[in-house]
Amino acid sequence: MPSITDVAKQAGVSPTTAKRALKTPHLLHPETLAKVMEAVSKLHYEPDLRAGALRAGQSRTVGVVLGSVVEPFFAQLARTLGQELRRGGYNMLLTENEYQSAHELTELKLLYGQRIDALILRAGYGDESREYLERLHKRGVFIVQVDYCLPGATYPSVMLGNVKAVREAVQYLYALGHRRIAATGKYDPLLHPEGRSYTFPTAMAEVGLEVRPEYERVMFLTEENTYQYTLDVMRLACPPTALLALTGASAAGCYRALQELGLKVPDDVSLLSFDNYSWMSLVSPAITVLAQPIDDMARAAAQMVLRALSGEDKRPADIVFPAELIVRGSCAPPQAQRVLERA
């Protein structure tokens, strides 16, 4: 790659003059400036922004670690984060941890090698990256958690109000008459330490119900895992009358399995899901959802970072956004109850 010295030689000026042409062009004689810019064009010179930023003591780069970049939730989150950070004068470096802290540790080291100023993190499960995160924090990297909080971590966060949302979902299904409700994922402190799965048994108990053991399964909430789970649980002698998908990806797995089994929504089983992905309003009937305000969450996280880096807010407070229950056609009273009502 051509250097500023190469540009200076091509233009017949000193390296200092070549640098001035790029940084303070109005201070140079027009003829000298023209020579330098002609050399820049001929050599296709591009300044090393990272080296300049590091000399200034700030990279103006924010690292973003998400669970999975193919998930629509994270894709939209990343897009809005990037837009907000660019408006604030910062670049974004994006990567994923595949929900695993061991993989996250590798990505964090690569990001710190780029000397990021801040980190927006959807933490992976496990403790492998915890010590390194604290090391980054002590080195001055501002950290914001989004979507999931690492247990015991004190970094500020932007979250959905998962406890209230799960309670609202269970109460809605209960009011329709459902008593056999299954959620796509059982809480596990190591493998699946999610707030939604943690809250589900409590929300069920609050309406006088218990979670049936045969409906419980610890698993990552991928489409494929939930597809297999739904096949298994709906083949039980006493299957659930309602499924609560804890993520949009798991809703896709549920829906695919139900179609394969020849079961109709909501005639045979009701389906309620977190997230509001585009396909959910295109199928018939459309899926009832607990929508997350993804853009608002992303903007809040980005602004939290920008304020902290500018020195405006050294101790930001946690931000919690409510979910919105959007009622469509995928939930109805259980079949047996509808038969009784018609009789």
pTM recorded for the entire structure: 0.83
The answer to the question of residue 335 being in a domain is: no
- Residues 89-107, mean pLDDT to the nearest whole number: 95
Same domain, 273 and 304: no
pLDDT (0 to 100) of residue 111: 93
* pLDDT for residue 171 is more than 60: yes
**What percentage of the chain reaches a pLDDT higher than 90?**
81
CATH code for the domain of 73: 3.40.50.2300
Query: What's the mean per-residue pLDDT of the chain?
Result: 92
The answer to the question of residue 343 being in a domain is: no
Same domain, 174 and 108: no
Nearest of 10, 8, 6 to residue 18 by alpha carbon: 8
pLDDT (0 to 100) of residue 127: 92
* pLDDT for residue 342 is more than 90: no
**Per DSSP, which regions of the chain are E strands?**
61-66, 91-96, 118-121, 142-146, 157-160, 181-183, 242-245, 270-274, 288-291, 319-321, 324-326
Q: Which residue has the higher pLDDT, 336 or 206?
A: 206
Same domain, 205 and 145: no
**What's the number of CA atoms in the CB half-sphere (13 Å) around residue 7?**
27
DSSP letter (8 states) at residue 192: B
The answer to the question of residue 53 being in a domain is: no
Q: What is the pLDDT of residues 250-261, one digit of tens each?
A: 999 999 999 999
**What's the number of CA atoms in the CB half-sphere (13 Å) around residue 60?**
13
Per the structure, the complete domain to which residue 186 belongs is given by 162-292
Could you give the number of structural domains in the chain?
A: 3
* pLDDT for residue 72 is more than 90: yes
Contact predicate 223/268, CB 8 Å: no
Nearest of 251, 208, 205 to residue 230 by alpha carbon: 251
The two counts, helices (H) then strands (E), for the chain are 13, 11
Same domain, 74 and 153: yes
* pLDDT for residue 130 is more than 80: yes
- The phi and psi torsions of 207 (rounded to 5 degrees) equal -105, 15
Number of neighbours of residue 77 by Cβ within 10 angstroms: 26
Helix axes 72-87, 294-309, angle to 10 degrees: 40
* pLDDT for residue 264 is more than 70: yes
Q: What is the pLDDT of residues 13-63, one digit of tens each?
A: 999 999 898 888 888 899 999 999 999 999 988 776 556 555 555 678 999
ω before 285 within 30° of 0 (cis)? yes
Same domain, 283 and 177: yes
Strands 91-96 and 118-121: unpaired
Q: Name the band, by pLDDT with cuts 50, 70 and 90, for residue 343.
A: very low
- Residues 235-258, mean pLDDT to the nearest whole number: 97
pLDDT (0 to 100) of residue 292: 97
Q: Name the band, by pLDDT with cuts 50, 70 and 90, for residue 191.
A: confident
pLDDT (0 to 100) of residue 56: 52
- Residues 70-94, mean pLDDT to the nearest whole number: 96
The answer to the question of residue 341 being in a domain is: no
Same domain, 179 and 284: yes
Helix, coil or strand: residue 121: strand
Query: Which two structure tokens, joined as six digits, stand for 341?
Result: 């009502």
pLDDT (0 to 100) of residue 241: 98
Strands 142-146 and 157-160: parallel
